[in-house]
Amino acid sequence: MAYKSGFISVIGKPNVGKSTLLNALTGEKIAIMSNKPQTTRNTIRAVITSDEYQLVLIDTPGIHRPKTKLGEYMVNVASETIKEVDLIFFLAEATTSPESLDISIIEQLKKVKTPVLLILNKVDIVEKEKLLALIARYNELMDFKAIIPVSALKKDGLDIILEEVLKYIPEGEKFFPEDTLTDQPEKIIAAEMIREKLLLNLDDEVPHGVGVEVTSFKERKDGLINIQATIYCEKSSHKGIIIGKQGVMLKKIGAAARFEIERLLDTKVFLELWVKIKPDWRNNDNMLKELGYKR
Ligand code: GDP
Ligand code: MG
Ligand code: K
C-alpha cells in the first residue's frame, strides 16, 4: 500500500476533549490541557507518524461568536482551516444532546466539502441507550462520514478513529521528519506551557486577559536552555494576583511551567518570568502578531 499523509482539523466547543484526544492519539503532551475553556488559542499541530501514514492534527480553536479582535481572528482561522484540510474531526459530548454551539458548528461544517467524522467523546460516563438515541439525533442533523463513540480519557475507540481516517487521507509523502511531535517552534510550546500553568493557578477573571510571549530562547554551551518570557495582563490588580504575595504565585507558576518544558524538551531549563501590564492587549493587532496569534 502506498504511503498516506494529510491534515486533520479538530473542531468542537470548549471542553469536549479536543486536547485530550490529540494527546491520546499522539501519546505526548503537546496540545494544552485545562478544564477552563479556550486554553488553546494557537493552532498547534501534532504529528502522528507510522510506517503507513503521517497525520497532521490541527487543534482548531472553537468556532464561537467573536467579542474581541482575538475572537474574530480565531473564527477566521477556524473557517479557513476547515476548507483546506483533508478531514475534519468534529468532537461533541456523548453526555448531552447537541447544544446551540454544536448546531452552529454543524452549520459551518455543512458549508465545506471536507469530509467530517463525528466523534462522540466521554462515552465512559454515558449509558448505552442514551448514546444510541444521541447517534440517531446527530444523524438527522448532518450526513457525517462516520459517527464514532470514544473515550479520549480512557483511550477507548481510538483504533476505530484511525481506521476511518485512512479512508479519507490521500496518498502522499511525509510532511515532517519521523521524530516530529509538533511543527510549532519550541518557543511557542514554552509559551503555551506557561499559559497553561497560569490558567491552572489563577482565578477565572484573570486568565482570559493574559498572554505569554517568550522573548528569549537560548541554548547554552552546557546544553541548558535559557528562557525568558513576559506575561501580559490588562490591569495592575491582575499583575498583583499573578505575582502573588512576595512573588509566591509567580514562583509556583514558573516552577510548574519549567517542569513541563524540561519534560518536553528533555533538557534542563532556566526560566525567567516577567509580568507587564498592557491594557486591552487583546484588541491590539500588533500585539496579537507579536504573540504569534496573527501573521
Ligand atoms: P478541550 O477544551 O476540547 O480541549 O477539552 P479538554 O481536552 O481540555 O478536556 C476538557 C475536560 O474534559 C477535561 O477535564 C478532561 O479531562 C475531560 N475529558 C476529556 N475527555 C474525556 C473523556 O473521554 N471522558 C471523560 N469522562 N472526561 C473527559
Ligand atoms: Mg483544548
Ligand atoms: K480546555
Q: What is the DSSP string of 90-148?
A: EEEESSS---HHHHHHHHHHHTS-S-EEEEEE-GGGS-HHHHHHHHHHHHHH---SEEE
Q: Is 12 in a helix, a strand, or coil? A: coil
Does residue 94 have its Cβ closer than 6 Å to ligand 1?
A: no
Domain with CATH 3.30.300.20 in the chain: 186-290
Nearest residue (by CA) to ligand 1, atom 6, is: 17
Class of domain 186-290: alpha beta
Residue 54 has a pLDDT of: 86
Quote the ligand 1 centre to 215 CA distance (angstroms).
31
Residue 63 has a pLDDT of: 60
Does residue 60 have its Cβ closer than 6 Å to ligand 1?
A: no
Amino acid at 197: K
For 97, the grid coordinates are 444532546
Residue 277 has a pLDDT of: 92
Residue 207 has a pLDDT of: 65
For 121, the grid coordinates are 467523546
CA 22 to ligand 1: nearest atom: 7
Residue 79 has a pLDDT of: 72
CA 154 to ligand 1: nearest atom: 23
Residue 290 has a pLDDT of: 60
Strand segments, DSSP code E, in 155-285 are 211-219, 225-233, 269-277
Write down the residue that cell numbers 447544544 correspond to.
99
Query: Can you give the pLDDT of all 295 residues of the chain as single tens digits?
Result: 799 999 898 888 888 998 789 888 876 544 444 444 443 444 555 778 888 988 888 766 656 555 666 666 666 666 777 788 899 999 999 999 999 889 988 988 898 899 999 999 999 999 999 999 999 999 999 999 999 999 999 999 999 999 999 999 999 988 766 655 555 567 777 888 898 888 888 877 676 678 888 888 887 878 788 999 999 998 899 999 999 999 999 999 999 999 988 877 777 899 999 999 987 766 666 666 565 554 4
Domain with CATH 3.40.50.300 in the chain: 4-168
Quote the ligand 1 centre to 231 CA distance (angstroms).
26
Residue 265 has a pLDDT of: 72
Instruction: Name the CATH topology of 4-168.
Output: Rossmann fold (3.40.50)
Write down the residue that cell numbers 454551539 correspond to.
101
Residue 180 has a pLDDT of: 54
